[in-house]
Structure 1
């Protein structure tokens, strides 16, 4: 590790003087007229510009090598071009008009391609899009992505569920590093504020090859906002009001870039009262958050680096029953007081045709859980340091290859009156290699990885786990408009500290949990198939998966009681999950402003020993009508009407009860107008418009018969200062 840091320091202070320049012009393929303000971007370098009035662009100070250039503009199909620097001197790029939304490059996969060029199917959504649909929190917003739901404890706590798997089976990445916040707990939420997050990517299925242990079920990858373009500055203020909770979320951001140095800052304050149902407010579902994000970047010739920091402080009430009805925003007991510090650095060194990338991260999570106001009953500090070193080999014919090592050191310590999991030190190490092979109509992707995890516990014998995993996938173009993807991947997850060593009442779950130090690691094999058809006016998709998990770890009651709580033991059995998503997106000609979207998603989880897995989301059918328009006084205008139908969930585990089906209606509109010659974006949306009383199957308040949130109106604006 010391050698790696020394090497990086030497590289960072070495002078580089690459002064390559790329010039070009972007035009309309039909009219041959220049396109102004088109985005021209090189993902690997994270560098780009917008075109001038003449359609011309110039990107300076480029290192030598082979890169992928993306050109995009609203109303046109995104174009991907392979370029060679310094051989490529000038480009003339013609964009084709299209009603299909602009594609973005996928960052969570190793080769950073557009989704249409990716072997692995990855879902992507911008945070702006999720907010425009009325999402109150980021955890609430991700449930609008096909195949993704959220386990919730009220409104303040939500954690991602990908195709029926959650907690330590789903990794969350933010700022390019893994987020560690004691995610083993059902009532331990996402812990990330949406302010300063640009987009969300979801890998649905085992991603252990790329991310190691705990990515057995998938990855939620949060992309931070980009720095400002060279020699520009931007500032904005935004605010949202939520009628149901009489809540607010306000943030202020500023970013500026010179030729080589970039800075950004963003601060947010959020507060919510107890959420309202048709019949009552849910006592102590209130929460408040303060969030600060900052970043500094430097880029010169063959070297670029950036450092980011995120401070998040949250106080979250844990609802237990329906009591006093107030509009206070300060939680009563029991509540969580959580402070998280996330430090990350990302550096790249470019050679002629290859590159070296190093990501370093440090997360400090300070979690306190109060049963009274005197002292925390549970107080855990989790310190996690990790590194990710990848080398992109020079392209060899049709081969792109990446090799790398990853590692983590994690220390957990207890400071509270009670101890749920022991003091422990966890060390991970992984090494992997992956290749992408491109032919004219076919792409292959193959890789292999070895992982090792060692857990040292002061009060027990050390535990060791290791595993080999692999992945194989290919994408086949079946004609001009149809694509098929097939992926086979294995995943690995070592048991967490709670599963191995817990021995006590887990507050908020009302369970006395007993760990099992003899547990084996989970190993899965998932097969995915995805079929897509897309032309200028219709997109159709069908995704299916079958996921077999050996040694699936689950909680099972043994019928006894300790400390007035039922006893649950951790046990293992082989399991399987299967299902998928189908849907279409229609924007008929000549009504290109009209969008009709429909999708259906389903997942079933079964234990081989008999019975169903817990916390499996109900089948869901979503239908949306959306119109887009622009007027002289309004740009990027839109309006939508959405119906989400949740079906009855009767395939439940032995300690769950069936959940009835229900329908939720949403409506919204918005756009951008000029105020004092600056852009003002306005969004107005309403969710659960009929004020339906319902309980989501993944609500942890379901055993108490407590309803989910009722009707909510959201009014938001963003003003460019």
Structure 2
């Protein structure tokens, strides 16, 4: 009876505590000018908002008491103010921010249990805001992130297909998130990008390394979290933005409309986007046939904020028709040719593509279609001095590749991937200065082949679960954080038989039990993987403006489906993949050291890393005893997955100069260097330097840019700017050369330029933002070493001495954004 009384007393006390709430609102300005999209965050929580176009904000339903509120934004000095919130009252708090180009005080949520400043996190983390993305020419979202975050690169297959790599590691080693939910869409494939609307992302947070314990397997290299854009809501008023984006090189036209509406505690958002482009061009190849695309995106969300916390439900739809280049050409003219036959096709004797089919928005019959649907909910329930976060999501990825010219409606590859994700965590009340979090998360996944003719991977079921503990504490000048995680994954598939369709002559999956004359392409498989990971990091504030960081982490990644199960042609990649059922999970140990300083006239960031990987999995071309390439499917390469030890090490350095006495000048510089060593001693002893290095390692990369910004407004023009930058890529002679898997890549320098103008009313409200930018100003011909089209070549020699396909030439972009 006494116990029941105590429980009742606790419930009544908690209820009373929950009912005591107030709000804070005000306006944020700089030099008496309103600032939009400034982040206002309640310290050590995920509760926050943004300023609207007039600089106004409101934090509602805050528990009564004293709170620290953080005001931060790129280009402004962070402020932390203490405010007393009284029950059932609104506290007014206006803030003046000082201009400062540094973003080291940015608040991030990725890789940490609670909102954390970049400066306090020992984990290497970088932020890319929408403003930064808008000031570059971007064909896709990953392209935008690569240009702004040192250490991030991308394997590309044309302008709309980019796979993110962090410090030389990619595919399933980089975990991509959308609004905190892991993105699941056949990440192992080369020939399609990330299924996310580039115009609907407000910021990207990048964690470099395996220290993100809240996410489990597949974050071995790091995490990229794309956080969707939301308008600065005004109560009972429709707001939003409209974007138009045009690129001259491939005629890309992008249009996007975002809407937001608030009705007291409820907030609603919607966005629709359409992009289309014809094939891109350069001076060497002319128009590169087979690189056109059409992409459509829809997203919607509803969120309610109450005294007990918040709840949000959201949905997205992605539909992309992407052409599939194969690189076939006429041997003398080097003009592109196209496949017109299935049986009897001679790659070196195909008809030349007519001129009127090179620059057309119509998608050719040989293309792929990627559809991705996502429905998810996130909620936060306040519990005493802590809170419970629940994230649930369902995704479906439909991937079809049409590669039969005589039967264009017949998909060669047709797979449907269904994923159900869950993540529940409890942020405990602060105890003796420690902020503790416990959680559990994972997913259930099923992949099914439909009416296709090629089957690179089997149908499979996967179940994943992991539990973790994370803690952080500040002791004087020292910030400490770390935790532990245990992951478990089971994967299963049944016997998978493939026969011949008597009507078409193509392959088909045998599902009726009659396996006479069929081939057992994927024998039954059952396996269980387990991995332990952990992280410990320190940040020491030598002074308010100088700090050092150190973090050591152990990561885990279970082999993906193509690494263990593949045994067939991926028609879009033009590669026959061969997996290995005996692979072990990858484990790595990464040490990060960092130094950060932001002084009156400059910011400096130095990050060093050393990454030792056990059971590293990579692709290698298959050759016979004579050293000749093994051809299983004519016209397609054959790759076998390998496993060995590996080491990656390197550094990223950023030096941003912003002289206090020359406020209109900013001089930003960054350097990223990654070395990848193959520790397979048997191969190195036998083949020497050809097997010494890892594949897909980016070369030394330097980006240096000057930005000149007017310090005054000129009538309706608000602080116009001009920028000029050099993108310098060194030659890559440290590559995996065994069996001609990779080749030497020459260095190159690209010069880019741009101007930006905001047109505003007398009230200070923005009418529109205009960005005119040019990439590759001098139309340099180059091949990135991470460009897969570089290897799309069918001849041993070329009349012009140029082999493979080159990257995009000069590209001018005009982007207009109209907020309302």
Q: Which 5+ residue runs of structure 1 have no aligned equivalent? A: 1-13
Which residue is equivalent to 1:100?
101
Out of 389, 392, 400, which is 1:357 matched to? 389
- Is 1:530 the counterpart of 2:532? The answer is no
What SS does the aligned partner of 1:129 have? helix
- The 8 Å contact of residues 50 and 232 in structure 2, kept in 1 or not, is answered as no
Which residue is equivalent to 2:282?
277
Cα separation, partners in 2 of 1:150 and 1:82, compared to 1, 3 Å: farther
Q: For the pair shown, which has the larger CA radius of gyration, 1 or 2?
A: 2
Mapped to 2, the partners of 1:591 and 1:357 lie a distance apart of 46
1:302-346 Cα shifts (integer Å, max 9, x gaps)? 121111111010000111123434211233243110110011111
- Is 1:644 the counterpart of 2:738? The answer is no
Which residue is equivalent to 1:6?
none
- The 8 Å contact of residues 74 and 102 in structure 2, kept in 1 or not, is answered as yes
Which residue is equivalent to 1:679?
767
Which residue is equivalent to 2:297?
291
Give the alignment of 1:138-177 within 5 angstroms.
138-144=141-147, 145-177=149-181
| TM-score normalised by structure 1 residue count | 0.92
Q: Return the offset for 1:479.
A: 2.1
Give the alignment of 1:511-660 within 5 angstroms.
511-559=575-623, 560-564=630-634, 565-609=636-680, 610=684, 611-629=692-710, 630-631=712-713, 632-653=715-736, 654=738, 655-660=741-746
Which residue is equivalent to 2:467?
431
1:369-399 Cα shifts (integer Å, max 9, x gaps)? 1103121010000000001101000001321
Cα separation, partners in 2 of 1:207 and 1:330, compared to 1, 3 Å: farther
Cα separation, partners in 2 of 1:49 and 1:248, compared to 1, 3 Å: closer
- Is 1:390 the counterpart of 2:460? The answer is no
Cα separation, partners in 2 of 1:74 and 1:206, compared to 1, 3 Å: closer
Q: Return the offset for 1:212.
A: 0.6
Out of 399, 417, 436, which is 1:401 matched to? 436
Q: Return the offset for 1:114.
A: 2.0
Give the alignment of 1:251-262 within 5 angstroms.
251-262=256-267
Which residue is equivalent to 1:661?
747
Cα separation, partners in 2 of 1:271 and 1:26, compared to 1, 3 Å: closer
Cα separation, partners in 2 of 1:80 and 1:425, compared to 1, 3 Å: farther
Q: Return the offset for 1:636.
A: 4.2
1:197-220 Cα shifts (integer Å, max 9, x gaps)? 111111111145221111101111
| TM-score normalised by structure 2 residue count | 0.82
Two-structure CA RMSD over aligned residues (Å): 2.7
Mapped to 1, the partners of 2:160 and 2:431 lie a distance apart of 50
- The 8 Å contact of residues 124 and 199 in structure 1, kept in 2 or not, is answered as yes
Mapped to 2, the partners of 1:230 and 1:529 lie a distance apart of 44
Q: Return the offset for 1:563.
A: 2.5
- The 8 Å contact of residues 207 and 217 in structure 1, kept in 2 or not, is answered as no
- Is 1:328 the counterpart of 2:427? The answer is no
Mapped to 2, the partners of 1:363 and 1:234 lie a distance apart of 29
1:85-105 Cα shifts (integer Å, max 9, x gaps)? 669996878756343346432
Which residue is equivalent to 1:8?
none
Q: Select between 421-430 and 99-108 the one with higher mean Cα deviation.
A: 99-108
Mapped to 2, the partners of 1:78 and 1:435 lie a distance apart of 25
Mapped to 1, the partners of 2:132 and 2:37 lie a distance apart of 20
Count of residues paired in the alignment: 705
- The 8 Å contact of residues 73 and 106 in structure 2, kept in 1 or not, is answered as no
- The 8 Å contact of residues 38 and 71 in structure 1, kept in 2 or not, is answered as no
What SS does the aligned partner of 1:591 have? coil
Which residue is equivalent to 1:9?
none
Cα separation, partners in 2 of 1:685 and 1:15, compared to 1, 3 Å: farther
Cα separation, partners in 2 of 1:27 and 1:408, compared to 1, 3 Å: closer
Mapped to 1, the partners of 2:621 and 2:35 lie a distance apart of 64
Mapped to 2, the partners of 1:24 and 1:256 lie a distance apart of 18
- The 8 Å contact of residues 72 and 107 in structure 2, kept in 1 or not, is answered as no
Which residue is equivalent to 2:209?
205
Cα separation, partners in 2 of 1:479 and 1:470, compared to 1, 3 Å: same
Q: Return the offset for 1:270.
A: 0.3
What SS does the aligned partner of 1:500 have? helix
Give the alignment of 1:88-487 within 5 angstroms.
97-101=98-102, 103-108=105-110, 109-144=112-147, 145-207=149-211, 209-231=213-235, 232-279=237-284, 280-321=286-327, 322-323=336-337, 324=353, 325=355, 326-372=358-404, 373-415=408-450, 416-459=452-495, 460-487=524-551
- The 8 Å contact of residues 207 and 219 in structure 1, kept in 2 or not, is answered as no
- The 8 Å contact of residues 553 and 589 in structure 2, kept in 1 or not, is answered as yes
- The 8 Å contact of residues 228 and 262 in structure 1, kept in 2 or not, is answered as no
Q: Return the offset for 1:583.
A: 2.2
- The 8 Å contact of residues 304 and 312 in structure 2, kept in 1 or not, is answered as yes
- The 8 Å contact of residues 63 and 302 in structure 1, kept in 2 or not, is answered as no
- The 8 Å contact of residues 124 and 209 in structure 2, kept in 1 or not, is answered as no
What SS does the aligned partner of 1:388 have? strand
Q: Return the offset for 1:73.
A: 6.5
Mapped to 2, the partners of 1:90 and 1:399 lie a distance apart of 29
Which residue is equivalent to 1:60?
60
Out of 788, 791, 807, which is 1:708 matched to? 807
Which residue is equivalent to 1:506?
570
Mapped to 1, the partners of 2:709 and 2:471 lie a distance apart of 40
Q: Return the offset for 1:60.
A: 3.3
